[in-house]
Structure 1
Amino acid sequence: MLPPGRPAPGVALIDPVPLYREGLWSLVRRTPGLRWLGSTGDLHSAVRMHARLRPDLLLVDSLLDPAGHLARLLVDRDPALMIIGLVRDAHAHGNYMTTAMDAGVRSVVSRSAQPGEILRVIAETCRSRGFVHPDLRAKERPTLTRREYEVLTLIAEGLENQRVADELVVSVETVRTHVKGILRKLSARDRTHAVSLAYRSGLLLGGPSALE
């Protein structure tokens, strides 16, 4: 419940799909305790929209802001702004989540979530000022050590254990230990499966900054 006299949180949306904007408009408009302020479909007008509407909550399609540049700009201008990332499947991994949160995104939810789930994330964000939907938390990529990442990168280049050992100047047994750790953390059947999973999750694209 909102304190007496306090206006309901204002909600705005940045999403390129008119049907999605229409759907969220309808959802928010019929939800007590929320105010719909407006939407836009492109980044060029996003900053102007924010300045004009000053929403409490701003939902942003991850496709439009995958690196968090817009989120960082808006939060720098308006620290009270609560941004919710609408995460597409291609971004449903830990690298995007870390980048988004570092940029000031407060919460994330799958863009294809059911209407009730999106409303729940909005409510949780208002209450706790931060929320990661469990479905996305489950998809966060595992964290490899720096050495495991180096081994995985060399495996992805087609090197066998002996060549990996030569490149890293370690023993073959040490490489085997790292490979076992990689397979366990990625829940992979074998080396080929591990590489496939790493590319699909974005792990090999994340770079050393994502490592322990």
Structure 2
Amino acid sequence: MDPVPLFREGVAAVVRRTPGLHWLGATGHLHTAVRLHERLRPDVLLVDSVLDPQGHLATLLVETDPGLAVVSLVREPHRTAKYVRAALAAGVRGLVPRTGEIAEILLAITRSHQDRVYLDPTLAPLAAGFTPAAEAGSRRALSRREYEVLQLIADGLENQAVANELYVSVETVRTHVKNILRKLRARDRTHAVSLAYQAGLLTGNLRA
């Protein structure tokens, strides 16, 4: 998942001609990434760090697919201990600089899938002292259904409309909304949507 079409096409071309690897698809949007994962069930997902700066997408997908190896293509502004630790806590299995050589990105793909963890040597020092249990314990991940409800709320739908869209009861929607508010520590629905956009959990073109 990357916002730059040329970059996506370049990685796709390399993966397609690499023995043992198979390219299933790409997108530049969070919502589409969730749908593609649900339909294609890939072994590895490449994500530009700018599209998932706090690991919300990784957490969402790994929660429903523990076998998925999410590899973060780390941009320069995210080459920090804070980002690396948050990504690992979110369930990211591999981290490699987005500007790295293609051989390095291919290594991250294979090692993350086979060994379940891979840190590029230039990023490894940033994970020093990382304790997965302690970091993960502070995260409050939205479930896939809560994420869907949040998207519909962001689109302006009220509870009844959300219920109709998801084919569930209004009471079920209310329960999901309560959970969303609790997990995001939001005062109300509007505040929850605002926090979600700020955190990168929602983007302005989710319906693309």
- TM band (smaller chain): 0.5 to 0.7
Matched, 1:78 2:65: yes
Deviation at 1:66, TM superposition (A): 0.5
What is the aligned-residue identity percentage? Answer: 52
Find the partner of 2:25 among 35, 38, 52: 38
Equivalent residue in structure 2 for 1:27, among 2, 14, 20: 14
Residue among 48, 66, 72 paired with 1:61: 48
Q: Distance in 1 between matches of 2:93 and 2:112?
A: 7
- Tell me the amino acid that sits aligned with residue 49 of structure 2: S
**Equivalence for 1:128:** 115
Inter-partner Cα distance in structure 1 for 2:66 and 2:51:
21
- Aligned partner of 1:36: which letter? W
Task: State the alpha-carbon separation in 2 of the partners of residues 55 and 127 from structure 1.
Answer: 14
How many residues align? The count is: 130
Question: Quick one: distance in 2 between partners of 1:110 and 1:102?
Answer: 18
Q: Does 1:52 align with 2:42?
A: no
Which stretches in structure 2 are left out of the alignment for 5+ residues? 131-208
Aligned to 1:102: 89
Secondary structure at the residue paired with 1:58?
A: strand
Q: Which amino acid aligns with 1:111?
A: R
Please report how far the alpha carbon of residue 140 of structure 1 lies from its aligned counterpart in structure 2 after TM superposition. Answer: 5.6
1:137/1:51 Cα in 2 relative to 1: closer, same or farther (>3 Å)?
Answer: same
Distance in 1 separating the partners of 2:9 and 2:98? 14
Query: What is the identity, as a one-letter code, of the residue corresponding to 1:118?
Result: I
Q: How far does residue 78 in structure 1 lie from its aligned partner after superposition?
A: 0.7
Q: How much has 1:142 moved relative to structure 2?
A: 9.2
Structure-2-length-normalised TM-score: 0.60
1:18 maps to a residue whose letter is P
Return the offset for 1:141: 8.2
Distance in 1 (alpha carbons) for counterparts of 2:126 and 2:56? 23
Alpha-carbon shift at residue 127 of structure 1 (Å): 2.2
Deviation at 1:58, TM superposition (A): 0.2
Give the superposition deviation at 1:139.
5.1
Question: Aligned in 2, Cα 1:47/1:27: closer, same or farther, shift over 3 Å?
Answer: same
The CA RMSD measured in Å over matched residues stands at 1.6
Q: Any idea what SS the aligned residue of 2:23 has?
A: strand
TM-score, normalisation: structure 1: 0.59
Which residue does the alignment assign to 1:16?
3
CA distance in 1, matches of 2:26, 2:72: 15
Q: Deviations over 1:84-140 (max 9, x none)?
A: 000000000110011011111011000111001111111211221101000112456
Q: Aligned match of 1:137 in 106, 120, 124?
A: 124
| Max Rg structure | 1
Any idea what the Cα deviations from partners look like across 1:168-199, whole Å, max 9, x if unmatched? xxxxxxxxxxxxxxxxxxxxxxxxxxxxxxxx
